A = this chain, B = another copy of it.
Amino acid sequence: MNTQPSKQLISPSQSFPFPEEGKAEIFPVGDIRTEAGGVVWDARIAVQRWGELRRDTDGSTNIILVEHALTGDSDAVNWWNGLIGPGLSLDTDRYCVMCTNALGGCSGTTGPSSPHPDGRPWGSRFPALSIRDLVTAERQLLDVLGISKVTAVVGGSMGGARTLEWILMHPERVGAAAILAVSARASAWQIGIQSAQISAITNDPEWLNGEYHSTSGYPRQGLAAARRIAHLTYRGEQEIDERFGTDAQDGENPLGVFRDPGQRFAVQSYLDHQARKLVERFDAGSYVVLTEALNRHDIGRGRGGLNKALSEIQVPTLVAGVDTDILYPYHQQEHISRNVGNLLGMAKIVSPVGHDAFLTETRQVARVFRRFLLLATGANPA
């Protein structure tokens, strides 16, 4: 690598605490006042980073802030595998890649399963969040860390929604933005299918109005049902069909004399597996809060409408989408690109995978990021 650092190197301990490379740390960021008028008292935000932080005298940094999707976390090298590291498209020899766990989450950041200041879990007392509130929390973390400006914010799906709000709420703090597989606001279809997921959880008898954290129960069945529905919106129907078709699960017979939930088609077993994996790692309350935040996603709210908001974006912005995405169809990214005030470029990820292609099509996403950083910073591609 022929990287000539143009920014001063600040060691983690020199002027402010900064997490050790790859290690999650949790910072208190104070109270967070939500867009709707609620408060998350004494919030904590989990953060990870890879690559050394460099900071200019004007307070700008070499940080690329990565925004995770609905059930993601701060461990971006895990879920955006192959994109972050030395010599990779988000090159940690050059950039400090940083990722926080979203407010409302369950991987270190304050969410419904976290202790309220009174010691009991937040549960149903946790306020409803908007995408803007997730950005507010992250902005408060940057304040705590003394980071005045980042080189770029990048994200897909809910991470893309947060990236859009970043460049509208705090344009002076973002050098450039890359927005993948998202829309400028929730569509009615998204609200519908997301609300179906919320209902699946809140109809589970063990949900207990969101107060299950203090009990031995857990709305496992409801969260599993939500994830099965969600997964079908994350995947292209042709990709799923090529893999499973009408195959029976090994050793099961879904064509018996009576319907039997233990006798499944292969695709049902696959969805059950996806659901089980999520139930083991994710809190149902966080799933509800963050899904509700997606329902409330609308960059036009209070800004004179969608296209006016988009037209006022002056941060250089690259937009990318997936041709087979049924959750955030490609025309939604085209809509952003047509109306955004400062368009760096538009990219189409071509894949049978559907929405999840922004996570799985590593080579194509890497090309998008290299082009993005080249256009945004003028730096030679790694």
List the interface of chain A (C-beta within 8 A of B). 34-38, 124, 127-128, 130, 185-189, 191-193, 195-196, 198-200, 202-205, 221-222, 225, 228-229, 231-232, 235, 237-238, 240-241, 243-246, 254-259, 261, 265-268, 271, 288-289, 292, 295-296, 298, 326, 329, 331
Asked whether A196 and B257 contact (CB < 8 A) given A203-B221, A241-B188, A265-B295, the answer is no
Q: In the complex the two chains form, is A187's CB within 8 Å of B257's CB?
A: no
Asked whether A246 and B298 contact (CB < 8 A) given A128-B257, A237-B189, the answer is yes
On chain B, the residues within 8 Å of A185 by CB distance are 245-246
On chain B, the residues within 8 Å of A221 by CB distance are 203
Residue of B with least CB distance to A195: B268
On chain B, the residues within 8 Å of A241 by CB distance are 187-189
CA gap between A314 and B320 in the complex, in Å: 47
Protomer copies? 2
Asked whether A268 and B192 contact (CB < 8 A) given A36-B257, A221-B203, the answer is yes
Q: In the complex the two chains form, is B192's CB within 8 Å of A257's CB?
A: no
16 examples of A-B residue contacts, CB within 8 angstroms: A36-B256, A128-B255, A128-B256, A187-B240, A187-B241, A188-B241, A189-B240, A189-B267, A192-B231, A192-B232, A195-B268, A199-B228, A199-B261, A200-B200, A203-B221, A255-B296
On chain B, the residues within 8 Å of A228 by CB distance are 192, 195-196, 199
Q: In the complex the two chains form, is B259's CB within 8 Å of A292's CB?
A: yes
- Least CB distance from A376 to B in Å reads 30
CA gap between A130 and B198 in the complex, in Å: 32
On chain B, the residues within 8 Å of A235 by CB distance are 189
Which residue of B128, B191, B225, B244 contacts A259 across the interface (Cβ within 8 Å)? B128
CA gap between A221 and B244 in the complex, in Å: 30
On chain B, the residues within 8 Å of A256 by CB distance are 36, 128
Q: In the complex the two chains form, is B187's CB within 8 Å of A261's CB?
A: no
On chain B, the residues within 8 Å of A128 by CB distance are 255-259
Asked whether A188 and B265 contact (CB < 8 A) given A193-B232, A199-B225, the answer is yes
Which residue of B237, B259, B295 contacts A254 across the interface (Cβ within 8 Å)? B295
CA gap between A99 and B251 in the complex, in Å: 39
CA gap between A202 and B262 in the complex, in Å: 13
CA gap between A238 and B326 in the complex, in Å: 11
CA gap between A45 and B192 in the complex, in Å: 36
- Least CB distance from A39 to B in Å reads 9
